[in-house]
Chains A and B, each alone.
Chain A
């Protein structure tokens, strides 16, 4: 056990556990800013809006029962709004945690 710990300490001291990434070596960095998060969120919202339009058109025109369509709409919209609210809250929290 003591030997294993010593081995790990040895490896850590020589930075052998962390293999240097070629991208990191070329100083390639992705800067995660609140703007990036809000941008991702805006893209998701755009995609979601288009999807919602298409899916609701199908349900409305090809659905086989009004109650079924209403139930699907209810769960879809409530779930989606929860996700959107959660995303917005996390993006704002990230912005505030600077």
Chain B
């Protein structure tokens, strides 16, 4: 679950490129072809002799085809959910990353935008270049694990907006520090720097 503060604003929700869904669609097409191959085999091989029908065989075959399509429908939603839940949420303060592996394994992490030290984009191959997607590496200060977002759509645009937000966050924090030291001086406290 992504826990966003009340005063935090979601600026962007980023998902993997649609091309990643194509490989899942390929699996679904293969699944859809299974009954066609099975019916063809049933006509070619004497497998029909194995079945005894108490009613119309055409209706029963139709039932099994629809049953198989129903299974494919469920598989399709499982694949979609896996795609949908892999997400990168950018707020005005933090970046949340969620990586869903199946239904029961989930890696979720978040880090502050002002802690980002380096943003790298890696695009490999002709497909990633032409369709404009790639991997984003976000290096953060400290010993925390760096973030790697794979197959992210429009990576350069995201990098640009992250850099912009990072600059704003740094400027804001510097203003806060300056404001603090000014108020300390005005209050007559000794500055720690002096």
Binding site for B on A (CB under 8 A): 18-21, 23-24, 28-34, 37, 40-41, 44, 47-48, 51, 54-55, 58-59, 61-65, 68, 72, 76, 79-80, 83-84, 86-87, 90-91, 93-98
How many residues in B have their beta carbons less than 8 Å from beta carbons of A?
39
Contact of B55 among A23, A34, A76 (CB under 8 A): A34
Chain B contact residues, majority secondary structure: helix
**Contact in complex: B81, A29 (CB < 8 Å):** no
A to B CB contacts below 8 Å, 17 in the list: A18-B46, A32-B51, A34-B54, A55-B77, A59-B81, A61-B1, A62-B98, A62-B100, A64-B2, A64-B89, A72-B80, A83-B69, A83-B73, A90-B66, A94-B59, A97-B56, A97-B59
Question: Given contacts A20-B46, A62-B98, A76-B77, is CB(A95)–CB(B66) below 8 Å?
Answer: no
Complex interface bits, B52-65 against A, C-beta within 8 A gives 1, otherwise 0: 11111101101110
CA distance A87 to B65 in the complex (A): 10
Q: Please tell me if the beta carbons of A83 and B45 are within 8 angstroms of each other in the complex.
A: no
